Chains A and B, each alone.
Chain A
Amino acid sequence: MAKIRLATVWLAGCSGCHMSFLDMDEWLIELAEQVEVVFSPVGSDLKEYPENVDVCLVEGGVANEENLELALELRDRTKTVISFGDCAVTANVPGMRNMLGGAEPVLKRAYLELGDKTPQLPHAPGIVPELLEKVQPLHSVIPVDIFMPGCPPSAERIRATLEPLLRGEQPEMVGREMIKFG
C-alpha cells in the first residue's frame, strides 16, 4: 500500500499547534514510517503545495491574501482537511483584531500610532501579502472535514486524531479529551 501523503500548513497562528505536533515525541518516528510528509513548515522545505495530498493539518486562521490563496489551493489538492487548533477553528487570538473593525484601523494602530521610529504603513506589493478585512476561521473559506480544537491541541489529541486516519478510519471527535476549546 502506498504511504499516506501528509501535509501540515501554518496560516495565521503562533506555530504552537506545530510545536504540539512535535511534542508527539517518539511517536513521530512511527508516524514517519507510515506517512510521507509532502509539505510542512516543520518537516519539509517545499514552497509549492503538492498535488494528491491525503491528509492536511491546517494551523491558523485566514488573515491575509497569502493565507487565503494557500487555503484554496490545499483544499483543491487534499482529500482530508483538518482544522488544526483553535485559530483554524474559531480565528481565536488572531481574530481579536476583528474587533477593531477591519484591516486599516489595525495597521494604523500597529504601524503608525505605536510606531516609535519612522512610523509608516508596510507596502510592498507582491512581497508582503495584504491583510484581509477580517481574520476568518478556515471553514469560512473552504469546506473542512475534521475539526480539532485546542490552543494548542495536546499531542495526545493530535495522535488520537491521526491514528484512525492512518488506518483509513474516521476519528471520533467527541468528549473533553478531543474537542475542548482553549
Chain B
Amino acid sequence: MSVVTLKINDQELATETGKTILEAAQDAGIRIPTLCHLDGITDVGACRLCLIELKGGRKLLPACVTEVAEGMEVETHTEKLQDYRRMIVELLFSEGNHVCAICVANENCELQDVAVEVGMDHTRFRYRFPDRHIDLSHPQFGIDHNRCILCTRCVRVCDEIEGAHVWDVAQRGAAEYIVSGLSQPWGEVDACTACGKCVDACPTGSIFRKGTTTAEKVGDRDKLQFLVTARQERQWTR
C-alpha cells in the first residue's frame, strides 16, 4: 500500500492510493452529500451531488469516481457547490411526484435528508407532475415510479451483488424509467429471486415491501456493504 497525502477543506490527510476522494473524505469524517453512491456497488457519478472543487482544476469533479492523487487540494463545501447542490435537489423534487406526507420512506428517505442538508425549503422550478405508474405485480414488493429518482442503485445492486439483473433503465431523458425484466411486470420476471436487496438499496420509497405504510420503510443499507465484505473477506458476522 502506498500512501497519498492530500488536503480536504484545508485539513491535511494521508490515505491509500486508489481510494476515491469520497472515501478519503468519509474516512476523515467529512460528509459529502450523495444519492447514487452506495457502499458495496460500482459508482456511476450520476446524481452530481458529490461534486467537489479541485484547486487548479477547471471543472467540478464527482468525488465518488475521482481517485485521490498526491498533493490534491479539495474543497467540498464552497458557496458555489452548496448553491449548485441545492438546485440539483430542487430539480429532483420537481421532476417526480414526491409526496413525503404519504410516503413509506418518510423519515427514512435519503432524498428528504439531502433536501434538509442542502437547505432546500422549496423548489424554484415548476413541478412536472408526471403521469407515472405503480407496479404491484410482485407478491412481496412494489415499485412506485412516482418516487423514483433514477439513481440506478437497484439496477446495480441486482446485477452486481445478487447477480440477477432484473432491473435496467428504459427510455431516455424525461421519459426514462426503471424497467423490470424484458419490460414485463415485476411479478412475471423469472430472474427475480425476491431477495429484497433493491428494497434496501433504494434511497427513497420507490421500491418497498408490500404491507408497509406511511413512514414504515427502513432501508437496511449496511446489509449490502456487509454482504460484499462477507464474500470478499470471508467475514460472515456483523
A–B contact at 8 Å CB threshold (below): yes
Which residues of the other chain, A, contact B146 by a CB distance below 8 angstroms? 99
The contact string, 1 if C-beta is below 8 Å from chain B, for chain A 73-116, is 00000000001001001111101101101000000000000000
Q: Are A149 and B101 in contact (CB under 8 A)?
A: no
Which residues of chain B are within 8 angstroms of A180 by Cβ–Cβ distance? 112, 115-116
Selected from A86, A144, A173, A182, the residue in CB contact (under 8 A) with B107 is A182
User: Is A175 in contact with chain B by the CB < 8 A criterion?
Assistant: yes
Closest-by-CB residue of B relative to A97 is B129
A181 touches B100 (CB 8 A): yes
User: Is B102 among interface residues, defined by CB-CB distance under 8 A?
Assistant: yes
Number of residues from A at the complex interface, CB < 8 A: 30
Which stretch (A26-34, A36-44, A120-128, A133-141) binds chain B?
A: A133-141
Name which residue of chain A comes closest to B131, CB basis.
Answer: A99
Complex interface bits, B92-133 against A, C-beta within 8 A gives 1, otherwise 0: 010001111111001100001001100111110011011110
A-B Cβ contacts below 8 A, count = 70
A-B CB contact pairs (8 Å), 25 listed: A83-B122, A86-B101, A90-B123, A91-B127, A93-B101, A93-B102, A96-B99, A98-B127, A99-B97, A99-B130, A99-B131, A148-B121, A151-B101, A179-B116, A179-B119, A180-B115, A181-B98, A181-B100, A181-B115, A182-B100, A182-B101, A182-B103, A182-B107, A182-B112, A182-B215
Residues of chain A at the chain B interface (Cβ within 8 Å): 83, 86, 89-93, 95-96, 98-99, 101, 134, 137, 139-140, 144, 147-149, 151, 173-176, 178-182
The list of the 5 closest CB pairs from A to B, nearest first, reads A182-B100, A151-B101, A98-B129, A147-B121, A181-B100
Apart from the given pairs A93-B99, A144-B122, A182-B107, 15 other A-B contacts in the complex at a CB distance below 8 Å:
A83-B122, A90-B93, A90-B98, A90-B123, A92-B101, A93-B101, A93-B102, A96-B99, A98-B129, A99-B132, A175-B116, A180-B116, A182-B100, A182-B112, A182-B215
Which residues of B are at the interface with A, using a C-beta cutoff of 8 A? 93, 97-103, 106-107, 112, 115-116, 119-123, 126-127, 129-132, 146, 215
